[in-house]
Chain A
Amino acid sequence: MGTAVDSSALSFYIHIPYCIKRCGYCDFNTYTPAELKVESSLSDVSQGYIDLLITEIEMAREFSTASHVPTIFFGGGTPSLMEPEDLGRVISAIATRFELSADCEITMEANPDSLTKERLQGYRDAGINRLSIGMQSAVPHVLKVLDRTHNPENIAKVVTWAREVGFAEISIDLIYGTPGESMADWEASVDAALALGTTHISAYALIVEQGTKLAAQVKRGEIIIPDDDETADKYILADNKFSAAGLNWYEVSNWSKAGSPCRHNVAYWQGANWWGAGPGAHSHINGRRWWNVKHPTAYRDRIENSLAPMQEQEILTSEEKSREEIMLLIRLPGGLKREDLDSSQLTCVEGYVASGDIDGAMWDRGELTLTQQGRLIADRIVRDLVL
């Protein structure tokens, strides 16, 4: 189904579970110094943590039969809190045990607050060649609801510095549907992101995750979540503007210039193999998924005692695999092909072609591509196809 998986390739996801402060909407596996009750400086923490990651990379080498690494992704948390040299040590650890592909994509998520031109130079020198910058919004009152501390004007400065030190691939992250965000606010953010002229933009509808500060505010009625119709309109506005600017969708929430999709993320959707290192990180190798223990301390205990940090694993049945493939590949244009579907699924697709949710011309050529309207109800279409 879809693209045949190359099992000689192994991507790496490196989790950096630290932030200076936690944003109100965030439910990621990340910890602030206060939460960890550390008294030493973040750089000490960082150094010690990198050693643990390197040990896990050694474990990956023992376990995996892959030969080369096409992509590495530093996510978090806030990877840009780590010293450039420390991230460099991780990259070298991978490069000495596996072969980095010649065009290896190495991405780092970055918070504009923690970046200077010097640090950016350092990351570039360490081997990172792609930045994903968390802009979220260009509108101060929206950023405030999101609990983001950065000054929106910093973004342009950071993007300029990044270009100056040699980053060609830069992505901007946006969030829409934040309570209190008007359509004009969102349009301003979209315009501001496009004005930066980057090769890639991701735009996500805000999800109120359980257990976050934002969820508590919603529950207390302090904040009202905008309705889905308005959020849909914002998606349409963004998609239209991005396409007009030459950024085309290659996944439901991702747009890029030709040749600039994030290859690391595409690997997830196409069911490729990857190793996630760090607390709470997920891995997938040939239909087996597992995830690490979640807390940094538990993670350290495992690694220091030479134990695998795995918390739990699942081995997918063929039925689960096929459901998962439909669930993921439908998010990509042409991700699913006619031959991937059985006869009742084909009937279901015909219905959605008729209702304008699946592109008819593409389907005639045997490829399933959601229309703009169809992308907005992708999960519903998946349920119809697999349940």
Chain B
Amino acid sequence: MPAIPLAKAPQPSKTDPAQIRNFCIIAHIDHGKSTLADRMLGITEVVEQRNMRAQYLDRMDIERERGITIKSQAVRLPWRSGLDGQEYILNMIDTPGHVDFTYEVSRSLAACEGAVLLVDCAQGIEAQTLANLYLAMENNLTIIPVLNKIDLPAAQPEKFAEELARLIGCQPEDCLRVSGKTGEGVEVLLDQIVKQIPAPVGDPNAPARALIFDSIYDSYRGVVTYVRVVDGHLSTRDQIQMYSTGVRHEMLEVGVISPEPVPSKGLGVGEVGYLITGVKDVRQSRVGDTVTNYQRPTDKPLAGYKDPRPMVFSGLFPLDGAEYPMLREALDKLQLNDAALVFEPENSAALGFGFRCGFLGLLHMEIVRERLERESGLALISTAPNVVYKVTDDTGKEIIVTNPSEFPDGKIMKVEEPIVRATVLAPSEFIGAIMELCQQRRGNLLGMDYLSEDRVEIRYTLPLAEIVFDFFDQLKSRTRGYASLDYEPIGEAEGDLSKVDILLQGEKVDAFSAIVHRDKAYTYGVMMTTKLRELIPRQQFEIPIQAAIGSRIIARESIRAIRKDVLAKCYGGDISRKRKLLEKQKEGKKRMKMVGRVEVPQEAFIAALTTDDEKSKEAKK
């Protein structure tokens, strides 16, 4: 058996770097990465059969439910190579698969020498995988192409082996074929990892340098920092120092994950493991920072990462205003674990007190919201997502707008918006549909390449604002789910943008203001005024609903005054019932938000802020 019992395997802190292989798996969301990882845990026997559960490494419930990995982890797998009979330590560093988390992918890549490129051989490579593959190639990682799910009846390993070979410049025969589900080919893959991926190289006698590639908050242990040691040695006896802050920390525990945390005496060159120092905030143990020895610090930090920049903003408000402090607490707690999440208090006339939050992308936003609701039991309203605009007014002053309410009212010289380079991979039959969608969203075609006979890569520049709305859903529905999308920010461009306000009886409702392209302003105005006319109950006066750019009205609707609101019968037996109904309505009245004289039910806000797309999905059902 090539598995080695943990006790007999090379021990952390005294493993020869030549015996170590650090690798990650690059794969699209449903291409079977977690199943393959589970299989590796089983074959190397680090997890006993009876303790095995699906998606073992995905800690959070939400990850397991959505089948996606958010936080990367590193697992130490002992392995005796079937090729040379030697003992090795394989460190598998998990990477997230979604476009929002490119940043996290890049930091896991920096901790590896090689990557397994895992592709579902019934589906072929997806745009996000391609993007991550390019990242890995830029990092000079050794790529091992692997076709997964060869047990599926729809598998086309020949076709996709050619596609992969063309992408990375190898022979189709070099693509390994595995089934994470049945275990077929997985031992061969482990042997190839040993054979192809170079061992880490470092100077064991140099001052310690370790790269922080992840940092998570654990409610029992405080911050757990994941590191890859490059030079020197980290030991429990040492005091360590964070290079960027110069702050000294006591080392409470050092260890490896196998796949549960196992304390060790230390970590040597090339090893991957965790540190616990007793800090309570992940920002004190920043990803990308270099850990060094306090007594003998390095003067050459490792190349770190750029801070993740929030790309999408949205306001989050508690449904019940009294829950505002709970929301703050919940956001603080999430931030301990998610350095990419930013927020600041926001006060909306319509929605009360809440927070303007910045996210890496739409999925990140959805996950944060879901975690807030699930882990803290909060009911939330979120405003429509928007991007960051750079507005220059006629005095030449630049204003950064992350919230439509910050958009200046006066004369404007120009508005700049973030632009992304988007890559769409799809079967060639959908080229027309994809181009039509991209054109509608103000896209510029950059180019198109055939990956194989019937699969194309289409490249566009698009304003990010067009993507954050419902681009991905539209893309999926127009390509029957076959297209995949990746995008990366490439800068800013001037756009013909303006702020559309929605007014109820002449009063601006801040929650409904949006920054939109001039061509779409009218559509947005009509959509919102029509929606609100349906959602706001009639009141004893007529309510004009207007959409306006500045003082120019671009769309209008009105809610006619209510004419009848009286129960015809009120006799002896009706009185108690009617009084109780009245008392109940008092509760209903509390849930009304007043916009000027207009009572707007909270449900109307929620429904109006929900995109049309969700509605049309409902209709299709």
| Complex: chain A residue closest to B571, CB-CB | A268
In contact, A204 and B568 (Cβ under 8 angstroms): yes
The smallest C-beta distance from A386 to any residue of chain B, in angstroms, reads: 7
Q: List 20 A-B contacts (CB under 8 A).
A: A228-B563, A229-B564, A231-B564, A252-B566, A268-B572, A291-B573, A323-B582, A324-B579, A327-B578, A328-B575, A331-B570, A373-B563, A376-B564, A377-B540, A378-B566, A379-B566, A379-B567, A383-B585, A387-B586, A387-B589
In contact, B582 and A386 (Cβ under 8 angstroms): yes
In contact, B579 and A207 (Cβ under 8 angstroms): no
Query: Bound complex: CA of A89 vs CA of B446, how far in Å?
Result: 97
Find chain B residues with CB under 8 A from A331 CB: 570
Find chain B residues with CB under 8 A from A377 CB: 540, 562-566
The smallest C-beta distance from B579 to any residue of chain A, in angstroms, reads: 5
The smallest C-beta distance from A19 to any residue of chain B, in angstroms, reads: 16
In contact, A284 and B569 (Cβ under 8 angstroms): no
The smallest C-beta distance from A134 to any residue of chain B, in angstroms, reads: 13
* A291/B586 contact (C-beta < 8 A), A331-B570, A375-B566 known: no
Find chain A residues with CB under 8 A from B570 CB: 252, 268-269, 327-328, 331
In contact, A281 and B563 (Cβ under 8 angstroms): no
In contact, B576 and A291 (Cβ under 8 angstroms): yes
Find chain B residues with CB under 8 A from A276 CB: 572-573
* A280/B589 contact (C-beta < 8 A), A235-B564, A386-B582 known: no
A225 at the interface (CB under 8 A from B): no
B450 at the interface (CB under 8 A from A): no
Q: 13 more A-B contacts (CB under 8 A) besides A268-B570, A387-B586?
A: A228-B562, A235-B564, A265-B571, A268-B572, A284-B575, A324-B579, A331-B570, A355-B541, A377-B540, A377-B565, A378-B565, A379-B566, A387-B589
In contact, B563 and A314 (Cβ under 8 angstroms): no
- 1/0 per position for A196-212, CB-CB distance to B under 8 A? 00000001110100000
Find chain A residues with CB under 8 A from B541 CB: 355
A289 at the interface (CB under 8 A from B): yes
- 1/0 per position for A246-275, CB-CB distance to B under 8 A? 000000110000000000010011000010
Query: Bound complex: CA of A323 vs CA of B562, how far in Å?
Result: 23
- 1/0 per position for A224-251, CB-CB distance to B under 8 A? 0000110110010000000000000000
The smallest C-beta distance from A361 to any residue of chain B, in angstroms, reads: 21
The smallest C-beta distance from A3 to any residue of chain B, in angstroms, reads: 16
Contact of B582 among A253, A327, A355 (CB under 8 A): A327
- 1/0 per position for A35-59, CB-CB distance to B under 8 A? 0000000000000000000000000
* A323/B564 contact (C-beta < 8 A), A284-B572, A387-B589 known: no
Find chain A residues with CB under 8 A from B540 CB: 355, 357, 377, 380
Find chain A residues with CB under 8 A from B571 CB: 265, 268
| Complex: chain B residue closest to A203, CB-CB | B568
The smallest C-beta distance from B298 to any residue of chain A, in angstroms, reads: 70
A98 at the interface (CB under 8 A from B): no
Query: Bound complex: CA of A309 vs CA of B573, how far in Å?
Result: 16
Query: Bound complex: CA of A387 vs CA of B584, how far in Å?
Result: 10
Query: Bound complex: CA of A274 vs CA of B572, how far in Å?
Result: 9
Query: Bound complex: CA of A274 vs CA of B571, how far in Å?
Result: 12
For chain A, residues 1 to 58, give those with C-beta under 8 angstroms from any C-beta of chain B: 13
A320 at the interface (CB under 8 A from B): yes
Contact of B564 among A228, A289, A291 (CB under 8 A): A228
- Determine the interface band of chain B, counting residues with CB < 8 A from chain A: 20 to 34
Contacts from B to A (Cβ < 8 Å)? 540-541, 560, 562-573, 575-576, 578-579, 582-583, 585-586, 589
Interface size counted on chain A using CB atoms at 8 A: 44
In contact, A282 and B572 (Cβ under 8 angstroms): yes
Contact of B579 among A203, A252, A327 (CB under 8 A): A327
Query: Bound complex: CA of A328 vs CA of B586, how far in Å?
Result: 18
* A232/B579 contact (C-beta < 8 A), A252-B568, A269-B570 known: no
Query: Bound complex: CA of A282 vs CA of B579, how far in Å?
Result: 14
| Complex: chain A residue closest to B538, CB-CB | A228
Find chain B residues with CB under 8 A from A314 CB: 576
Find chain A residues with CB under 8 A from B578 CB: 327
In contact, A13 and B572 (Cβ under 8 angstroms): yes
Query: Bound complex: CA of A283 vs CA of B589, how far in Å?
Result: 30
In contact, B567 and A207 (Cβ under 8 angstroms): yes
* A380/B562 contact (C-beta < 8 A), A320-B579, A323-B582 known: yes
In contact, B569 and A253 (Cβ under 8 angstroms): yes
The smallest C-beta distance from B575 to any residue of chain A, in angstroms, reads: 7
* A382/B582 contact (C-beta < 8 A), A205-B568, A331-B570 known: yes
Find chain A residues with CB under 8 A from B564 CB: 205, 228-229, 231-232, 235, 376-377
| Complex: chain B residue closest to A253, CB-CB | B568
Find chain A residues with CB under 8 A from B582 CB: 323, 327, 382-383, 386-387
The smallest C-beta distance from A335 to any residue of chain B, in angstroms, reads: 12
Contact of B573 among A205, A269, A280, A323 (CB under 8 A): A280
Find chain B residues with CB under 8 A from A205 CB: 564, 568
In contact, A289 and B562 (Cβ under 8 angstroms): no
- 1/0 per position for A309-349, CB-CB distance to B under 8 A? 00000100000100110011001000000000000000000
Query: Bound complex: CA of A324 vs CA of B570, how far in Å?
Result: 11
In contact, A376 and B566 (Cβ under 8 angstroms): yes
The smallest C-beta distance from B559 to any residue of chain A, in angstroms, reads: 13
The smallest C-beta distance from B111 to any residue of chain A, in angstroms, reads: 62
- 1/0 per position for A119-137, CB-CB distance to B under 8 A? 0000000000000000000
Query: Bound complex: CA of A320 vs CA of B582, how far in Å?
Result: 10
Find chain A residues with CB under 8 A from B589 CB: 383, 387
Most buried by B among A280, A373, A380: A380
Find chain A residues with CB under 8 A from B565 CB: 228, 376-380
| Complex: chain B residue closest to A386, CB-CB | B582
Find chain B residues with CB under 8 A from A289 CB: 575-576
The smallest C-beta distance from A108 to any residue of chain B, in angstroms, reads: 15
| Complex: chain B residue closest to A267, CB-CB | B572
Find chain B residues with CB under 8 A from A228 CB: 562-565
Query: Bound complex: CA of A202 vs CA of B566, how far in Å?
Result: 15
In contact, A207 and B569 (Cβ under 8 angstroms): yes
- 1/0 per position for A365-386, CB-CB distance to B under 8 A? 0000000010111111011001
Nearest 7 Cβ contacts at the A-B interface: A204-B568, A232-B563, A228-B564, A380-B565, A232-B564, A378-B566, A282-B573
| Complex: chain B residue closest to A233, CB-CB | B563
Most buried by A among B562, B572, B586: B572
* A268/B575 contact (C-beta < 8 A), A331-B570, A386-B582 known: yes
The smallest C-beta distance from A324 to any residue of chain B, in angstroms, reads: 5
Most buried by A among B541, B564, B567, B582: B564
Query: Bound complex: CA of A331 vs CA of B565, how far in Å?
Result: 13
The smallest C-beta distance from B608 to any residue of chain A, in angstroms, reads: 23
Query: Bound complex: CA of A375 vs CA of B540, how far in Å?
Result: 12
Find chain B residues with CB under 8 A from A320 CB: 579
Query: Bound complex: CA of A228 vs CA of B540, how far in Å?
Result: 13
The smallest C-beta distance from B572 to any residue of chain A, in angstroms, reads: 5
Query: Bound complex: CA of A291 vs CA of B573, how far in Å?
Result: 8
Query: Bound complex: CA of A314 vs CA of B566, how far in Å?
Result: 25
